[in-house]
Amino acid sequence: MTVTATGAAHPRAVRWGLPDVLVGVVAFVVLSAVVRVLVRLPGVGGEAWLVLGIEQVVSGWLPLVAVVLLATWWRGRRSLALDFGLRFRPVDVAVGLAVGVGLRLAALGLAEVVRQLSGTRATAFAGGVGDPVLFVVFAVLAASVVSPVVEELYFRGLALRAIERAVAPAGAGVRGAAGAEGTGAATDARRRRAAVIAVLGSALLFTVFHLDGVPETAAAASRLLTLFVVGVVLGVLAVVTGRLGPSIVAHGAFNLTVAVLELVTPPAVGG
């Protein structure tokens, strides 16, 4: 909020958009390169927990958190709720859990189809938990609690809304745009088009961020397809509800099912 000479308060102008998303991409690429150097340093590469921690925090969370916070503080309304929809309602838990588990079942089904068609192993659950402390820290807390919040803020908060605002600028009634919403059939059509493009664009960006390299097997390709579908569904949740609560819970549930599958899968024999 800003205060004029007359003492009247006005909401801060929203100036974040696609340039902020691009800053996040560049920061992610740069920090990922830095991490590749760090994990090769003596005394670091040999410690699995340290490598995982550096990769997760430095190249995973840091660039996304930094760009979101900078966008809302300097170019937004200094509120993650107002700018990016970081809000929760009780119903979000039920909806998110149902969607997250459903997405995991769909992912397993797709992996099985790939296995049948290609004759390759489509899933890779080693079984067991190994070090229980590391399992809880990385597979449960990091992957299923922290990462969903960080990634949803960037992909379904900043990126999705930035694309919406670029396709249907302020005044067209899109989420995060300053000014009154427009009315009429033309405005509704523009908003729907903006929402579709934003959901697909943010899902594609979400997939690229999780791309370890060019997929060389059918199983790797199915993983990327799964990520894109997950990104689309989470984007739809964010658009329909206007908040990130359902997509955060769904994202967390989807990731948590991996830890559950590791627990229930018998450990591989012979390494």
- Where along the chain do its domains lie? 2-264
Residue 177 pLDDT level (bands cut at 50, 70, 90):
very low
Return the pLDDT at 266. 61
Quick check: 30 pLDDT over 80?
A: yes
pLDDT at position 50 over 50? yes
pLDDT over threshold 50, residue 158: yes
For 88-140, what is each residue's pLDDT tens digit? 999 999 999 999 999 999 999 988 888 788 776 655 555 556 677 877 888 88
Per the CB < 8 A criterion, the answer to whether 154 and 67 are in contact is yes
pLDDT of 214:
60
**Rounded to 10 degrees, what is the CA torsion of 119, 120, 123, 129?**
120
Would the pLDDT of 246 be above 50? yes
**219 against 59, higher pLDDT:** 59
**Average pLDDT over every residue of 217-229:** 85
Q: Is residue 238 pLDDT above 90, yes or no? A: yes
Look up the pTM and report it. Answer: 0.86
The answer to whether 218 and 117 have CB atoms below 8 angstroms apart is yes
Q: Is the pLDDT of residue 188 over 90?
A: no
* Long-range pairs of 61-66 with CB within 8 A, sequence gap ≥ 24: 61/146, 61/147, 61/150, 62/27, 62/31, 63/24, 63/27, 63/28, 63/30, 63/31, 64/24, 64/28, 64/150, 64/151, 64/153, 64/154, 65/150, 65/153, 65/154, 66/27
Tell me how far apart the alpha carbons of residues 145 and 249 are, in angstroms, rounded to a whole number.
Answer: 9
